[in-house]
Amino acid sequence: EQQVYQAGLTSHKPPFTFQSTEWEGKAHEVLDSNSWGYVHGNAGTSGTYNNNLESFKRYALCPSRLVPSRKDTIGNELYPDTSVEVLGQKLPFPMAIAPIGVQKIFHPEGEVAATKAAAETGIPYILSTASSTSIEDVAAANDSGARPSAPAPVRWYQLYWPSREHDDITLSLLKRAQDSGYKALFVTLDTYVLGWRPSDMDHGYNPFIHPDRIGVEIGFTDPVFQRRFKEKHGHDISRGYLDEYGITKGATFGDAAKEWTQIVFPGHSHTWEDVKFLQQHWDGPIVLKGIQTVADARKAAELGLAGIVVSNHGGRQQDGAIASLTMLPHIVDAVGDKLDIFFDSGIRCGSDIIKALALGAKCVLVGRPYAYGLAIGGQDGVKHVLNSLMGDTIMNMHLGGLRGLSELQRDILVKDNTM
Ligand code: FNR
């Protein structure tokens, strides 16, 4: 199947279009207005979001001709080599699933469908703290999704970091993630409060407190949060706390969702000093997500972190912020030899991936495109999006005379000021 995608074969009947520019419109057709507003919505005027997409067009790929293809030991022609080692783990392709919250609002199987598709295609899955499925259930689904005889699937955990008075909850989340086989910790730094998002505000919509009772399951299944809730309200977190007459009473599911949301989006930031607390309590690589300046990248390197994600959260947090791709080469020049640099915000097709890698990213995260795939077609939809992005990248490298990731250097790009 992978070969079908890599070879761009026309005989393969896809679950939906290969045309990546149409995935967004297809998702719009199937989602209700609240969910669509949440996934598609941005901060403020969408200025940063638009900049993210535009910034890729400012670079053009320059192909080389008459480059002999890669061959294996017995002379078979091979497609370009895309394998890479990231955070000490070997990956078949330099792409991971970006953390996206409450995935059940896109599809009833939510994170389970997405993580299985990731495992099936060999792509690491990063689980969000705002997940509508528990840490443990996602781990089990991720394991069950891997193809027989394929290497064990790779999963990482993204922390929305509770403020320091909730360290007990932070420690509980880290322990659960560690016990469930999440090998790296991604700490998101740009979302201590949700951005100014007109689409959600117009709808009066909070995706974490959903009318259909989809919730932040990670919170509801957390033993420390459960205990705290019970002490405060006198009963367990309940999806329908009914009195003897069948009337919903007291603190319910909705209250639990609100309380959990207040813990993970408490409205104020941590300090660089606080990062040491996570380093003391996480046994494995830590990656800071949301880095946008050279100075912050340097601080991350000085603290000995394993990686950073150069990201502006897909333009959903601070409007008017610089396009993530524009900052990438500056950050790579400063710390590229000291830690693994991930990139996200605006990846939509194979050539975008090549451009980010050529500018020095080690691995990209893909955000909205897979959420659209999930909305359109569940597990198969995510799989189709991931396979399409990989196939498009590999074909594009092949046509550019690029035989492996090491050949993705800045000299394959020209800044095209005509666009
Ligand atoms: C996100 N993102 C995000 N990031 C994070 O660290 N934790 C999260 O829970 C979420 N949730 C989330 C929900 C939705 C609907 C979107 C679109 C995004 C940000 C995400 O990880 C990533 O940084 C961006 O999506 C990358 O930009 P693109 O690929 O969407 O342009």
What pLDDT score was predicted for residue 238? Answer: 74
Tell which residue, 264, 42, 238, 45, has the closest CA to residue 166: 264
Q: In this structure, is residue 292 part of a structural domain?
A: yes
Q: Answer yes or no: is the C-beta of 155 below 6 A from any ligand 1 atom.
A: no
Q: In this structure, is residue 204 part of a structural domain?
A: yes
Contacts of 391 (CB under 8 A, 6+ apart): 2, 4, 5, 6, 7, 8, 350
- Domain of 323, CATH number, reads 3.20.20.70
Q: In this structure, is residue 25 part of a structural domain?
A: yes
Q: In this structure, is residue 106 part of a structural domain?
A: yes
- Ligand 1 centre to CA of 49 (Å) is 12
Our answer to whether residue 235 is catalytic in this structure is: no
pLDDT digits (tens, 9 = 90+) for 245-260: 766 666 677 888 889 9
More confident position, 383 or 416: 383
Please state the ipTM of this predicted complex: 1.00
More confident position, 76 or 320: 320
What pLDDT score was predicted for residue 250? Answer: 66
Phi and psi at 231, nearest 5°, equal -60, -40
- Residue 100 marked ligand-binding: yes
- Per-residue pLDDT band at 77 (split at 50, 70, 90): confident
Q: Which of 313, 345, 368, 389 to mutate to test the pocket of ligand 1 (most atoms within 8 A of CB)?
A: 313
Q: Answer yes or no: is the C-beta of 367 below 6 A from any ligand 1 atom.
A: yes
Question: C-alpha angle with apex 140: 137 to 145, nearest 5 degrees?
Answer: 125
Q: In this structure, is residue 239 part of a structural domain?
A: no
- Ligand 1 centre to CA of 7 (Å) is 30
CA distance 67 to 61: 16
Q: Answer yes or no: is the C-beta of 39 below 6 A from any ligand 1 atom.
A: yes
Q: In this structure, is residue 74 part of a structural domain?
A: no
Question: pLDDT at residue 73 above 80?
Answer: yes
Question: pLDDT at residue 80 above 80?
Answer: yes
pTM exceeding the 0.90 threshold for the entire prediction = yes
Cα–Cα distances (Å) from 336 to 30, 237, 300, 301, 329, in that order, read: 41, 46, 12, 9, 9
- Per-residue pLDDT band at 66 (split at 50, 70, 90): very high
Cα–Cα distances (Å) from 138 to 59, 111, 126, 201, in that order, read: 38, 7, 10, 30
What's the rounded mean pLDDT across residues 58-63? 97
pLDDT digits (tens, 9 = 90+) for 204-216: 998 888 766 677 8
Q: In this structure, is residue 12 part of a structural domain?
A: yes
Q: In this structure, is residue 297 part of a structural domain?
A: yes
How many domains in the chain?
1
Q: β-pairing, 95-97 with 363-366? A: parallel
pLDDT digits (tens, 9 = 90+) for 217-230: 899 899 999 999 99
Q: Answer yes or no: is the C-beta of 128 below 6 A from any ligand 1 atom.
A: yes
Q: Which residue range forms the structural domain that includes residue 113? A: 2-67+84-209+267-415
Q: Which long-range contacts (CB under 8 A, 24 or more apart) does 3-10 make?
A: 4/391, 5/387, 5/388, 5/390, 5/391, 6/79, 6/390, 6/391, 6/394, 6/395, 7/391, 7/395, 8/391, 8/395
Mean predicted lDDT score pLDDT of the chain: 93
